A and B are shown apart, each in its own frame.
Chain A
Amino acid sequence: MVYLSFLLRRMGLSVFVLVGVLILTFIVSRVIPSNPAALYAGARPRPEQVEEIEKKLGLDKPLTEQFRVYLADLLDGDLGESYHSRRSINTDLSIFLPATLELVIAAVVIALVFGIPIGTLAGAYPRSPFDYATRFVAIAGVSVPSFWLALIAQSVFFSQLGWLPLGSRISRDATLFYPIAAQTGFYLIDAAISGNWDAWFDALHHLILPALVLSAYPLGVTIRMTQASMLEVLSETYITAARAAGLSRPVILFKLALKNAIMPALTVVGLSFAYSITGAFLVEVIFSWPGVGKYVTEAVLNVDFPVIIAVTLVVTVFYIGVNLAVDLIQALLDPRVRLI
């Protein structure tokens, strides 16, 4: 396989999927609802409000024309306006998206850092007590409702032990006395850049619990996939050949087999990202984490449809980008793929 042609094909596919996603969200927002204007006008709208929206969205025009306008707006980078707050969704997302990404990335890192070694060991020692314990933990991880785990975690680490804060991204003291100068929107990065270490530790303190809770599902998935991958690799002939050559068990497990097992397991990076995003929608509510998840769930309560569609679109575009990056990196690491 030649990398360049793979790259072009894979990027072409992403563009195609992106167009599909635009069409599908358009269908969800304009075709599925029986009265899109009423939906866009929010809860209990007055008739003249509905009329105004109808005109603004061009709902009297044919669907193709509506789609053209919808696309034109998106290409301008205009995601519309929240019915509820009347604020620009672009502005809202520029604040909420970094918050969610910080949380999601933390969860993904936790899932990978713990999941890959645990899965590797479990795969290396099948039918050992460690393997059974790991399998139990992995299944528990993918079975626990994240929002419930969040509640339990709060009650243990905040109410009972008092080790960690209840929620939100940063304490009020920090915002008042040593505020973080916003640059990237990632508190840990912004605080570190400006050398504001008090705020940095404060932000970390707030990040720990939500990130741990959020990592449960992707951790379970990572463990299962690495374990299965390792098990598969260890039954390959080249592992038997390595044993027949008298290589030691640690070399075989952690040098040879792990490299082979990690390649397919890299897919879990994309998956972990997806599951963390999904979990974030529910977990952010419980931890009062000011991210897109909380934004969307509040939009659901307020019947703020433009926000729901905009978030769906933006987060999906992000997810497509992550998957593209994972695939490209994975191919780049495989010696069987030629660069040109």
Chain B
Amino acid sequence: MARIEVGSSAWFLIRDRAALISMAFLLLIAVSAIFAPLLTPYAKQGMGDPDLTAKFKPPSIEHPLGADSLGRDQVARLMFGARRSLSMGLLVVLIAIAIGAPLGMIAGYLGGWIDEAIMRVTDVFLAFPPLLLAIAIAAALGASYINAVMAIAVTWWPWYARLARAQTLSVRERAYIEAANSIGVRDRVIIRRHILPNIMTPIIVQGTLDVGTAILVAAGLSFIGLGTQAPFADWGVMISDGRLFFLSGRWWLSTFPGLAIFLTAMAFNFLGDGVRVAADPRLRRLL
């Protein structure tokens, strides 16, 4: 039965055209980010070198998406920006999972005052509107790429703690854990062997959905100057850089990085939705 489940989940994901297109798009973005130095003749400009002869060049064959206020090729900037934006989104989610999932499992597994304490701490963190606490922490740490990532991750882990706790609670009572307990298996082994595999699916689903949102939030921090610093740029910085010239006819400056964020976040959302439906037989019936 288990084999049928996995097989049909994969089948469902592939049949979900939106998820499939999203996966292809994200793969394209990832490849162009990873191999950016090989794929563009303007690699130096991608990393910040100006070329004042090309200042504000509109889209042309030479610069398909135009050039910015320092004459840098926008395609190269976008490709190198993808490295920052994508990695920010992924890092935020991975760090948040790394903090939140263990705490949630401990809370759910041990219960009692430890559970109570961890959950009340998550309450406090989630009491802040998203982004606001991240702005304060990023400002306290000082503006930089890695500080922005840390600041967002620190505000994000409670979601995973709650998710992991809820899953752990539902798994904990199952008979096989009782059995494992009775023959003297240690808690650590139980968590690793029995609980961890069971909470992975919902965490992966949530993580996929969250990468898109994390990219948005990171772009927001960069937009107000708390993220990636010059001469490097992520997509949020590029929108911010282009904004002053945007209404005076240099539309290509902010339009493309914005589209890049928009489409990437959408792709993660469609993919996450697809994974969620595919992993949940009950939802499959409803949708």
Residues of chain A touching chain B, judged by Cβ–Cβ distance below 8 Å, are 13, 16-18, 20-21, 23-25, 28-29, 32-33, 39, 126-127, 135, 139-140, 142-149, 151-152, 154-155, 158-159, 166, 231-232, 235, 274-275, 277-278, 281-282, 285-286, 296-297, 300-301, 303, 305, 308-309, 311-312, 315-316, 319-320, 323
Contact = CB atoms under 8 A, between A and B. Distances in A.
B130 A285 contact: no
A50 to B, nearest CB: 16
A103 B137 CA distance: 25
Given A126-B287, A316-B129, A147 B223 contact: yes
A301 B240 CA distance: 13
15 contacts: A17-B127, A18-B127, A20-B120, A23-B124, A126-B287, A127-B287, A142-B269, A143-B269, A144-B265, A148-B254, A151-B239, A281-B131, A296-B135, A312-B136, A316-B133
Given A28-B136, A126-B286, A285 B141 contact: no
Contacts of B287: 126-127, 231
Q: Which 4 A-B pairs have the closest CB atoms?
A: A20-B124, A148-B258, A143-B265, A143-B266
Contact of A145 (B128, B262, B269): B262
Given A126-B286, A143-B265, A155-B247, A17 B123 contact: yes
A144 B216 CA distance: 8
B124 A297 contact: no
A231 B284 CA distance: 12
Contacts of A158: 247
A312 B128 contact: yes
B223 A139 contact: no
Interface string B247-272: 10001001101100111011011100
Interface string B116-129: 00001101110111
DSSP majority for the B interface? helix
A82 B113 CA distance: 41
Interface string B223-239: 11110000000001001
A159 B137 CA distance: 37
Interface residues of B, number: 48
Nearest to A33: B140
Contact of B139 (A232, A278, A281, A308): A308
Interface string B204-225: 0000000011001001100111
Given A151-B254, A305-B140, A312-B128, A281 B216 contact: no
